[in-house]
Amino acid sequence: MSYGMKTFYNGTSFRRDEIPVPDNDTFFQSILDAIASGWRVCSYFGVPNSHGVTLYCVMSARGGNGALGISATSVGRSFPSLAASCPQLHLFEREIAEQCLTRPEGHPWFKPVRFQKPLCEGTGLWSESDGAGLLPAVMEFYRVEGDEVHEVAVGPVHAGIIEPGHFRFQCHGEEVFNLEIALGFQHRGIERALIGGPMPRTMHQMETIAGDTTVGHGQAYCMNLESLAGVFASPRAETVRGIALELERLANHTGDLGAIAGDVGYLPTASFCGRIRGDFLNMTALLCGSRFSRGLLRPGGIGFDCDAAIADDLYARLQAAREDLSGAVALLWNTPSVMARLEDIGIVTETDAREIGLVGLAARACGLNRDVRRDHPYGIFRMSQIPVVTASTCDVAARTHLRWLEAERSLDFIDEQIRHLPRGGYRNPMKEIAADRCAVALTEGWRGEICHVALTDSQGHFERYKIVDPSFHNWNGLGLALRNQQISDFPLCNKSFNLSYCGFDL
Amino acid sequence: MTNSTIINSTIHIFLALIMPPLLLGVIGKTKAAFAGRVGAPFLQPYYDILRLLHKGTVFSTTTSWVFRAGPIVALATTAVASLLIPFGAHPSPISFDGDMILYAYLFALGRFFTMAAALDTGSSFEGMGSAREATYSCLAEPTLFFALITLSRLSGSYSLTGMLSNVSSGAWLYAGASLLLLIGGMFIVLLVENCRIPFDDPNTHLELTMIHEVMVLDHSGPAFAIIQYAASLKLFVLGAFFVQLALPFATGSPFPDWGIFIVSMLLLAVIIGVVESVMARLRLVRVPQLLVAATILAAFSTLLVIR
């Protein structure tokens, strides 16, 4: 069943006229049918044009054949909202309304997403009458009424050094009834800047969509440009990209394990992991001179070759780091007071996780078996699989434990790949990118599924470049995790998700 | 008043003024050692207080005199309490029958003003912090009183000096079980009253999980320096009570006894540092359970001496 969509594989491109454009009813019904049978929405966005908006929906098919589906439809000033029956669409529909000025009729939670200016001419659906734009977090928040209910507002300026976001809690004593999250403070207009691209600076913008996910976003962009230009990265380049992606995962998972330990006040692991994270970042620096992989990925391959001396050095450092990390993390599992603090906190049930469309580690901690590296393999992962690990307890302990299990598997993967680097060139010359084509790339960043969709116009420029960061799917999960929890557990829950603000805000 | 009393009182006041921040430095160094780090210098808490004293203070226009009084009352009450408690084998500078009640409620008065100052800011965080502080201090108070009753029964005295000077190796011989239970309960009280792990994390920056630190979020500059110093003095004063219970060693000659006292206090700081290093914070809902357990320990120790 393809539900009337064009099916294709991750990292490929096709002519735009191959995308089926059914009428509205067929389009929306096919999305509903597909979701009901277990498909998942990867990206859902609008492209404003002279006579309205064209909506595109990219979905991930159920089953093991790795197919993705895409279809489109044209709408005018409004379109029917599916959010009430498919909660995973709710944020996408708000985003379409904000960017393309078309109203999702019947949306149950119709509020701005990033408080950004629309991509097309006109005033936003929420703007003041004088045409002034909105300021982030200036909106009606959900309120629980009652004498004993109190409201706690946190942020956008926090006591720690983290990104800005506003959290509104409705509490009864220490218990949280509802958490509403308002983001948008970091909006930089990346998608708007990409229209008419690619430009020489585009690669740098991609590397900084979320500063800690350079390889995840960078590779998705490289895959799109390569498939649009008909260029292939060499096996050697693909292997180094895979190694860099797993190093990024290792550095962030290690940092998170330390930060979770720090949040529960358990000092030894917090201190050790802080240092070991630095070791992984330094390994990345070994590959490209930047601790955050800037400059490593380039369309057509990689920016720097990984010669034998570097590979040997990396291998040696990896063994040392594995030993250190195993010791530091074992302390967590062996300390009852830490485990008591992590268990049964911040539970998101598997049903909820599926409905709101969680991705990545947060989804796997709820027992959902999804991983782009296996479901829609790309690059090196077509040749070499990393086993997917899931947990069933759905709590902070599950998300913590999974970080360690994934880190172990990433270590094994790099171990094997770094010793068997394919020979050959590391960077193929790029060509002109093709006109009137659509390319879709999914990668599994350390937070989860990253989806980039590129649509080129008749001159071979981007008419629209849509980016979906895993945080876009997952912020709602944090809100659900806090229901009926102690408000003092919020920092711990937040850290266990560790979502990106700037990746969401774009 | 004899010469030795004057000398002892001078040393007492001198120690109470100078030594408290050092305990924080020792705790920090111990935790750093467990984390495999060099850590801040022992004297870092002094530097911090000096730095804060040189800064300006910001007062919100929505606050009243209560907000300004908070730190001063907290320091004043703790300072008076430090005069009531004997340091080691030496009698306290001020001592009278029933001073133990004053001792207990001086802390309560300081806490009341800290909480009132927090509520004065109108911040939701500080309100939550005050609510937590009020709950936990209510639950910690019975433990302290059971301890005072037990000690008073053992010594037949109603002043802290009489009660604590009676606890010696001799007392351990005939009331060891009772004192052991008391030490367990009082150690919990010591940790909770001074906002140490596992009850509170003095180093956290997470405003939603803090207890004491969240109440003083709006204080800055010299006012915050006063709060920092008062907090270390409180640790010192409660620590002195605990040390006299747990390590009642005395030589009988004054100067070696002062040495023993200082070493015992530093040892206590190391023990607190170790506790903070090897365990995580409790979930906040678990804190009352542990406090009730401390009360039960202290109540049993009272039962043992009353039978």
What is the value of pTM for the model shown? Answer: 0.89
Q: Is the pLDDT of residue A133 over 80?
A: no
Collect all residues of chain A within an 8 Å Cβ-Cβ radius of residue B201: 265
Q: What DSSP letter does each residue of A358-392 carry, written as one string?
A: --HHHHHTTT----HHHHS--GGGGTS-------S
Between A170 and A425, the higher pLDDT residue: A170
Cβ-contact A378, A372 below 8 angstroms: yes
Q: Is the pLDDT of residue A129 over 60?
A: no
Tell me which amino acid residue B52 is.
Answer: L
Q: Is the pLDDT of residue A321 over 90?
A: yes
Query: SS3 breakdown of chain B: % helix, strand, coil, rounded to 5?
Result: 75, 0, 25
Collect all residues of chain A within an 8 Å Cβ-Cβ radius of residue B202: none
Q: What is the pLDDT along chain B (307 residues), one digit of tens a residue?
A: 578 888 889 999 999 999 999 999 999 999 999 888 898 999 999 999 999 999 999 888 889 999 999 999 999 999 999 999 998 888 889 989 989 999 999 999 999 999 999 999 988 888 888 998 899 989 999 999 999 999 888 888 888 888 888 776 677 778 888 889 999 999 999 999 888 888 888 777 777 888 888 888 889 999 999 999 999 999 999 999 999 888 887 777 888 889 989 999 999 999 999 998 888 888 888 889 999 999 999 999 999 988 7
Cβ-contact A46, A53 below 8 angstroms: yes
Between CA A304 and CA A310 the distance in angstroms is: 11
- Chain A closest-CA separation from residue B109 CA (Å): 25
Q: What is the predicted pLDDT for the residue at A162?
A: 83
Distances (CA, A) of A495 to A258, A262, A499, B92: 10, 10, 8, 48
Task: For chain A, say whether B127 makes contact (Cβ under 8 Å).
Answer: yes
pLDDT band at A364 (very low <50, low <70, confident <90, very high): very high
Between CA A284 and CA A331 the distance in angstroms is: 26
- Chain A closest-CA separation from residue B307 CA (Å): 37
Q: What is the predicted pLDDT for the residue at A128?
A: 61
Choose, out of B123, B124, B204, B283, the residue to mutate when testing the contact with A (most A CBs < 10 Å).
Answer: B283
Q: Which CATH superfamily is domain A198-468 in?
A: Cytochrome-c3 Hydrogenase, chain B (1.10.645.10)
Choose, out of B31, B37, B136, B206, the residue to mutate when testing the contact with A (most A CBs < 10 Å).
Answer: B206
Task: For chain A, say whether B177 makes contact (Cβ under 8 Å).
Answer: no
Q: Which of B209, B277, B278 lies closest to A491 in CB terms?
A: B209
Between CA B248 and CA B169 the distance in angstroms is: 6
Report helix, strand or coil for B301. Answer: helix
* Residue A156, preceding peptide bond in cis (omega within 30° of 0): yes
Q: What is the predicted pLDDT for the residue at A222?
A: 93
Q: Where are the domains of chain A?
A: 1-127, 198-468
- Average pLDDT on A155-167 reads 83
- Average pLDDT on A319-332 reads 92
Q: Where are the domains of chain B?
A: 60-306
CB neighbours of residue A45 within 10 Å: 24
- Average pLDDT on A43-56 reads 89
Interface confidence (ipTM) of the complex: 0.83
> What does the pLDDT look like over A276-304, one tens digit per residue?
999 999 999 998 889 999 989 989 888 88
Q: What is the predicted pLDDT for the residue at A132?
A: 59
Tokens standing for residue A453: 């969709």
As a whole number, the mean pLDDT across chain A is: 89
8 Å CB contact of B208 and A490? yes
Would you give the DSSP letter of residue A88? G
Between CA A483 and CA A472 the distance in angstroms is: 20
Closest CA to B252 of B2, B4, B1: B4
Kind of pairing, strands A78-80 and A103-105?
Answer: parallel
Task: For chain B, say whether A272 makes contact (Cβ under 8 Å).
Answer: yes
Q: How many residues does chain A have?
A: 506
Would you give the DSSP letter of residue A62? S
Q: What is the predicted pLDDT for the residue at A452?
A: 93
Query: How large a percentage of chain A has pLDDT more than 70?
Result: 99
Q: Which residue of B has its CA nearest to A168?
A: B124
| Angle between the N-to-C axes of helices B221-246 and B254-278, in degrees from 0 to 180, rounded to the nearest 10 | 110
pLDDT band at A444 (very low <50, low <70, confident <90, very high): very high
Q: What is the predicted pLDDT for the residue at A130?
A: 55
